[in-house]
Amino acid sequence: MWNRVEEVLGDVRRPSRYVGGEVNSIDPGQVDADVRFALAYPDLYEVGTSHLGLSILYAVINAHPHASAERVYMPDLDMEQQMRERALPLFTLESRTPLGDFDFLGITLQYELTYTNIINMLDLAGIPAWADDRGADDPLVIGGGPNALNVEPVAPFFDLVVLGDGEEVVLDLLELYRDPRTGGDRKTFLERSSDIEGVYVPSGYTLDPEDPQAPPRPLEGFPERVRRRIVPHLDDVPVPTRPVLPFAEAVHDRAVVEVFRGCTRGCRFCMPGMIYRPVRERSPERVHGCVHEILANTGYEEISLVSLSSSDYSAIESVTTALAESLGRQHTSMSLPSLRVDRFSVDLANRVRAVRNTGITLAPEAGTQRLRDVINKGVTDEDFGDAVRAAFSAGCDQLKLYFMLGLPTEREEDILGIAEMVERARRIYVEVGVGRRPLKLNLSVACFIPKPHTPFQWEPQLSIEAFRDRISTLRHALPRRGVRLSYHDPDSSRLEGIFARGDRRLAPMIVEAHRRGARLDGWTEHFDPGVWEEAEKACSVDAAGYLGSRDLASPLPWDHLDSGVSREFLLEERARALAEVRTPDCRMGSCSACGVCDPTLGNEVVNPDV
Ligand code: SF4
């Protein structure tokens, strides 16, 4: 394999994506493992190497005395062509072993538009796409990541799927695999793995032909519902303090430490906010220790404290103050992604990293207070004004704003409200920033996609035409100069919407689209709506049915995949949304009975006084 790979590298763009041997990657020659994992990110190297989840699993598995993990990413189209021409199977970066030779192939499900990449990677590896077609010599293909909570459109491609936190489940699977009682038998292993909390075995469930929109029914021996695995204490979770340093430029090229998992702000459109509950914070001591360890092991000059909403970390003030002092001496900067729209967050960002010349990004999501109450985005007009004023006062002259169109109950005044917020930001800039260069304002607009496991899972998605109309309304309301409007491609949002609330009947369409050439659909330059239209027709897919509103009383295709948040809570939240009533964050107020916490598990906040 080594020589065959070397021969190809001279004929492809960015060969560094395929050479392996990066600093902190394992040396396969030094590893004596009896269980071997290949961990796959179904997108290009520069996207995949930035992913924290796979980096954690890489560390966890490689710390096990009897196991090893190697990495593989989706090859770019030129590499794919070379591999197909030379019959070179897809291989891991560490030992250049073909994927078919591993015991497990773990694939992360981050985003709907990577689904054809999964088929492509399996195909390039010579592994049958359909789990039912695999035999004793094929690896067990495992899915995980946020979209595991509605894996149904791709479920037939996986032998098993991990719901929730994977760090402990992967070790349980390893032990089961090494258990002589499974006797190396695939079927026995799969049956027994369904006893592990958080493991879903799609072949143990079958669609009801009379009611294909209902969740698949369990065969004998498989549970009715599969509960998401939740690690109760983040301090018990290993931190990858020796992350692999990518050769090619990565989308996020910096050290990262996860400061907490989960978010209970309760934005009603947000799937991560529902499926990662409850909040579990890492202790400040552990955060400090990990930051310094990672910097020593990598030489990075920037550390990012990540989570779903980093300024919500209850020890953020003390941690950033102490880190700013120690990192300042090492000329290392700190960043906080996912800023909340309020003055506190912006002041904090100003403190940890000067926003001058870098700008700030805020996501008010909706243009009026009414609609922000509907979606439970706790941002007031005052918060917005305070945040942009604080940023401009600190010298910022670039502002990026994120909004969505097509949210439930949206009216024309909500669209015009976006333009008014833009106007207001410009006025504040003039007040604060007289004499400086003009404000650079980027407005990014997405089409609202109803996601499973959220209070809006029953709502319809805008048609492509309606989305274009609303974009046009917004464009006309915006100032003619000084604002750059960009919006998500409506065709790819439509496809994402179909898969987000899809079921198993979509799997053949993914295979068909791949056969017709669909690849790297998340990349605008590669996405071809024509190919998907043909695949939809060939497979008689009722797209309108997937994108329309769902009956509140009927079962949903993902009802058997239990995030821990109850259907009653989601229905109640939907009713409150329509009544324009907000629900407070349970970290600060009383429990809103979402169903996740129990006597052994609850919000774990390191500084309860905040
Ligand atoms: S059960 Fe209550 S306290 Fe726990 S996450 Fe849900 S709303 Fe918050």
543-553 tens-digit pLDDT: 999 999 999 99
**How far, in Å, is the centroid of ligand 1 from the Cα of 453?**
15
Domain 230-338+580-610 fold = Transcription Regulator spoIIAA (3.30.750)
| Dihedral-angle region of residue 416 (phi above 0 means left; psi in -120 to 50 means alpha; beta otherwise) | alpha
pLDDT at residue 357, as a whole number: 53
What are the sequence ranges of the domains in the chain?
2-227, 230-338+580-610, 354-502
Residue 354 has pLDDT above 60, yes or no: no
Confidence at 435, pLDDT banded by 50, 70, 90: low
pLDDT at residue 324, as a whole number: 85
Tens-place pLDDT, residues 156-211: 999 999 999 999 999 999 999 998 888 779 999 999 999 999 999 999 999 988 88
Q: How many helices (H) and strands (E) does the chain have?
A: 21, 19
**What tokens does 426 get?**
């410009």
The span from the CA of 221 to the CA of 226, in Å, is: 13
β 255-258/260-261 pair status: unpaired
pLDDT average, residue stretch 479-504: 95
Q: What is the mean pLDDT of the chain?
A: 93
Does the Cβ of 273 fall within 6 Å of ligand 1? no
**How far, in Å, is the centroid of ligand 1 from the Cα of 451?**
20
| Sign of the alpha-carbon dihedral angle for 236, 237, 241, 242 | positive
Confidence at 353, pLDDT banded by 50, 70, 90: low
Task: Return the SS3 of 81.
Answer: helix
Does the Cβ of 314 fall within 6 Å of ligand 1? no
The span from the CA of 528 to the CA of 511, in Å, is: 15
Q: Which numbered atom of ligand 1 lies nearest the CA of 277?
A: 5
Q: Please check whether the two domains, 230-338+580-610 and 354-502, share a CATH topology.
A: yes
CA nearest 447: which of 379, 503, 497? Answer: 497
**How far, in Å, is the centroid of ligand 1 from the Cα of 551?**
26
Domain 354-502 grouped into CATH 3.30.750.200: yes
- What would be the CATH architecture of the domain defined by 2-227? 3-Layer(aba) Sandwich (3.40)
Does the Cβ of 594 fall within 6 Å of ligand 1? yes
pLDDT at residue 499, as a whole number: 98
**What tokens does 226 get?**
């599969």
Which residue type does 214 have?
A
Tens-place pLDDT, residues 68-115: 999 999 999 999 999 999 999 999 999 999 999 999 999 999 999 999
pLDDT at residue 22, as a whole number: 94
**What tokens does 249 get?**
């430029």
Indicate which residue's Cα is closest to atom 3 of ligand 1.
Answer: 591
The span from the CA of 236 to the CA of 274, in Å, is: 22
Task: Return the SS3 of 320.
Answer: helix
What are 202's strand-pairing partners? Answer: none
pLDDT at residue 67, as a whole number: 96
Mutate which of 265, 275, 585, 594 for ligand 1? The one with the most ligand atoms within 8 Å of its CB, which is 594
The span from the CA of 324 to the CA of 390, in Å, is: 20
Mutate which of 570, 585, 586 for ligand 1? The one with the most ligand atoms within 8 Å of its CB, which is 586
Taking the model in full, what pTM does it have? 0.95
The span from the CA of 282 to the CA of 235, in Å, is: 5
Residue 39 has pLDDT above 90, yes or no: yes
Residue 349 has pLDDT above 90, yes or no: no
Residue 573 has pLDDT above 80, yes or no: yes
Does the Cβ of 588 fall within 6 Å of ligand 1? no
CB 24 within 8 A of CB 56: no
**How far, in Å, is the centroid of ligand 1 from the Cα of 583?**
12
Among 135-144, 409-418, 435-444, name the one with the lowest average pLDDT: 435-444
Longest dimension (CA), the chain: 76
Q: Which numbered atom of ligand 1 lies nearest the CA of 279?
A: 5
Residue 355 has pLDDT above 60, yes or no: no
pLDDT at residue 486, as a whole number: 96
**How far, in Å, is the centroid of ligand 1 from the Cα of 145?**
22
Does the Cβ of 586 fall within 6 Å of ligand 1? yes
| Dihedral-angle region of residue 517 (phi above 0 means left; psi in -120 to 50 means alpha; beta otherwise) | left
Indicate which residue's Cα is closest to atom 6 of ligand 1.
Answer: 594
Does the Cβ of 277 fall within 6 Å of ligand 1? yes
Does the Cβ of 592 fall within 6 Å of ligand 1? yes
Does the Cβ of 603 fall within 6 Å of ligand 1? yes
Does the Cβ of 263 fall within 6 Å of ligand 1? no
pLDDT at residue 356, as a whole number: 44
pLDDT average, residue stretch 310-319: 91
| Residues written for the chain | 610
Mutate which of 582, 587, 592, 598 for ligand 1? The one with the most ligand atoms within 8 Å of its CB, which is 592
Does the Cβ of 583 fall within 6 Å of ligand 1? no
**How far, in Å, is the centroid of ligand 1 from the Cα of 264?**
7
For helices 115-125 and 77-85, angle between their N-to-C axes, nearest 10 degrees: 30
Tens-place pLDDT, residues 216-236: 999 999 999 999 999 999 999
**How far, in Å, is the centroid of ligand 1 from the Cα of 587?**
8
**How far, in Å, is the centroid of ligand 1 from the Cα of 236?**
21
Tens-place pLDDT, residues 578-598: 999 999 999 987 999 999 999
Does the Cβ of 294 fall within 6 Å of ligand 1? no
Does the Cβ of 279 fall within 6 Å of ligand 1? no
| Sign of the alpha-carbon dihedral angle for 76, 77, 81, 87 | positive
Instruction: Give kind and range of the element (H or E) at residue 222.
Output: none
